[in-house]
Structure 1
Amino acid sequence: MGIPVREALRVGAYLVGQRLRRREKFALTLELEPLFACNLACAGCGKIQHPAGVLKQRMPVEQALAAVEECGAPVVSIAGGEPLMHPEIDVLVAELVRRKKFVYLCTNALLMPRKIDKLRPSPYFSWAVHIDGLEQRHDESVCKQGVFAQAVDNVREAQRRGFRVTTNSTFFTSDTPASVIEVLNFLNDELRVDRMMLSPAYAYDKAPDQEHFLGVAETRELFSKVFADGRRRRWRFNHSPRFLDFLAGDVDFACTAWAIPSYSLYGWQRPCYLMSDGYAQTYRELLEETDWSAYGPGPRPAVRQLHGPLRLRADRGAGHDGVPAGVDSRTPVLKGLDTSP
């Protein structure tokens, strides 16, 4: 199973429109960070390392919506920090859904009980709950006991209320094929989330733990073993088949960091949210004044693997034919997608 058919059709139509307009660079998924503050201090994340004054800031809803309209991306991933700490997160989500953007609200799930009454189920809205492993492994990852149990309980409550729930899981050098398979089986078969997203841990300069990020060779070895023996076909991934092929080292892609622009309290991050080579004030400035040829495979952290809701690559996001990695160039919408009702 792959990307839900409604989303794939909408994004496919958007891609066709960009091609007809002969646009070489365009946004597919906006990584929107309306705050950097978080209620956890995960070892593999450095967002809370920002200055105290910045951590207190919350992006106004109007500013966030303006960024979405400016870049035109059909998919918006709301990240942070912890987005549920934003006092108007429900207003932002409602406005994006009203515009028929596909919204993925990334969260550690701890604050879901405080906000869930203010949100409404929609085919355009999905919780994206952070689950890095089973109980011991996940609690170690987020550096706090009891988080896994709370997250699972809150996911089940969201499911009971009719929300679409996806999960995102990040794997480090401390993970093994067996531990990855174990958590994917749990999410797929026991918790029965709608879709799962997964990613190797990418190098983030501000993260306290710099020792456990996966390199390219380690990533390929891990996921080729995880996907062996046909297991991949039965898991409900929120990924295109080509992205999964990429993780296993079966295909390679060029760099299209421009496809997943990152907008935060500082502006448009150059070139993407993995790397910070300055900020642009507008999306056009980001596209036109960034030397995109300087990014791609190489010694810098951008060659680490990255996932986003559209399953594109910020470090290697498009195929050699110029089509983004989430979409097959011959059958750009339906290849490998879930077409069930």
Structure 2
Amino acid sequence: MGLPLNLTVKMGTYLLKQKIRRVKKFPLIVEVEPLFACNLACAGCGKIQEPASMLKQRMPVEKVVNAVMEAGAPMVSLAGGEPLMHPQIAEMTQALLDKKKFVVLCTNAVLLPKHLHKFKPNRNFAWMVHIDGLRERHDESVSKVGVFDQAIEAIKQAKAAGFTVFTNSTFFNNDSPQDVIDVLNYLNDDLKVDRMQLSPGYAYEKAPDQDRFLGVEQTRSMFKKAFAEGRRKGWRLNHSALYLDFLEGKVDFECTPWAIPSYSLKGWQKPCYLMSDGYVDTYQELLDSTEWDNYGRGKDPRCDNCMAHCGYEPTAVLATMSSLKESLRAVTAG
């Protein structure tokens, strides 16, 4: 359970440097959206609701690299839209690897077989394939029949070629604890992906379907039942143990919205990729101009049902690193 060893070392060294320098706000991961265009129209995502002129734009490689280096995080998530629709995505990925960043490329995997040859396995690179349930559930989530089978075949091809493959599964209020168990068992035991990430569905404001998102108590109930009987210890989950505790209601945290900033064609998004209170040109401006204390559950009504990875995993990671007991638990037990 938890991060790969090389990423754990990279992240731990980075966190230690921030502590020595007494830096209060710093990114753990930078999420970059080099385009908004996508080859799917998922009901829970609103990226393709952008104007046609915006959907045609592609961020230059140099601009991506400059933004990542400005923020300074050790890890980068290349998202979108569908990143494999960007003609320079392979060049972009390599440029970030050359800067010693750990790069995760998020994709629905439909285009992955076509572009796989453009990439090379690297200990600091992983594919992140979205799998939102087993066949029927996943295809319903992405609003297109056949995508699950395409994604699974793409994962098999990537694994056979020597790549590290992560998955990200978002669960909504029409999912059950058994749905969570079934998909994680399949990904972990049958498909044998390297790491699995969980996302409780949060009401992304541009999503076409606003009726499927989870409330806090629904989230806690779902994951408490799914994680029961020691199941979570058997899954290769890409999360800290404390964040998993948080999901099932064993602990509570405040949001750390500044820790996973989002950079897109519009600039740095305030305060996080799920909410849009404006954009700024530089990362420092994002830090200085955002009223961070105004966000989180109990502070902004839009945050009341959010338990998303982007806000609460960083809090859990920082809590883990500041506690010897939790650090040992992260290594030994999960």
Q: Same fold judged by TM-score > 0.5?
A: yes
- Tell me if 1:314 matches 2:315: no
Aligned 1:184-199 pairs, distance under 5 A:
184-199=184-199
* Consecutive aligned runs of 4 or more in structure 1 exceeding 6 Å deviation: none
Per the alignment, residue 234 of structure 1 pairs with 234
Q: Distance in 1 between matches of 2:112 and 2:328?
A: 33
Give the distance between the partners of 2:277 and 2:42, measured in 1 at CA: 24
How much does 1:337 deviate? Answer: 3.5
User: Aligned equivalents of 2:203 and 2:332: distance in 1?
Assistant: 32
Indicate which of 314, 323, 330 corresponds to 1:336. 330
Superposed, which structure 2 residues align to 1:21-40 within 5 Å?
21-40=21-40
What are the residue-to-residue correspondences of 1:1-341 with 2, within 5 Å? 1-298=1-298, 300-303=301-304, 304-307=306-309, 313-314=310-311, 317-318=314-315, 324-325=318-319, 327=321, 329-330=323-324, 335-337=329-331
Helix, strand or coil for the counterpart of 1:35? coil
Unaligned runs of 5+ in 2: none
Deviation at 1:2, TM superposition (A): 1.5
The alignment's C-alpha RMSD in Å is 1.6
Quote the Cα distance in structure 2 between the aligned partners of 1:152 and 1:51. 32
TM-score normalised by L of structure 2 = 0.95
Equivalent-residue separation in structure 1 for 2:30 and 2:256 (angstroms): 13
Q: TM-score, normalised by structure 1?
A: 0.94
Report the Cα offset of residue 318 of structure 1. Answer: 1.9
Instruction: Classify the secondary structure of the residue corresponding to 1:116.
Output: helix
Q: Report the 3-state secondary structure (helix = DSSP H, G, I; strand = E; otherwise coil) of the residue aligned with 2:126.
A: strand
Structure 1 unaligned residues grouped into runs of 5+: 308-312
Structure 1 residue 288: deviation in Å? 1.1
* 1:113-142 superposed Cα distances (whole Å, 9 cap, x missing partner): 121101000110000000001000100000
CA offset digits 1:185-232 (Å, max 9, x no partner)? 000000000010011001111101100100111100000000000001
Cα-to-partner distance string for 1:144-166 (whole Å, 9 max, x where unaligned): 00000010001000000000001
Task: Give distance in 1, aligned partners of 2:60 and 2:303.
Answer: 29
1:18 partner letter: Q
Deviation at 1:54, TM superposition (A): 0.3
- Counterpart contact for 1:172–1:212, Cα < 8 Å: yes
Q: Are the aligned partners of 1:93 and 1:103 in contact in 2 as well (CA < 8 Å)?
A: yes
Residue identity matched to 1:336: A
SS at match of 2:258: helix
Larger deviation: 196-205 or 327-336?
A: 327-336
User: Number of residues paired by the alignment?
Assistant: 331
For 2:39, the aligned partner's letter is N
Equivalent position of 1:310 in the other structure: none
Cα deviations across residues 97-127 of structure 1 (Å, max 9, x unaligned)?
1122111100000000121101000110000
**Residue aligned with 1:258, SS:** coil
Matched residues in 2 for 1:189 and 1:334: separation?
26
CA distance in 1, matches of 2:248, 2:19: 29
| Structure with the largest fraction of helix | 2
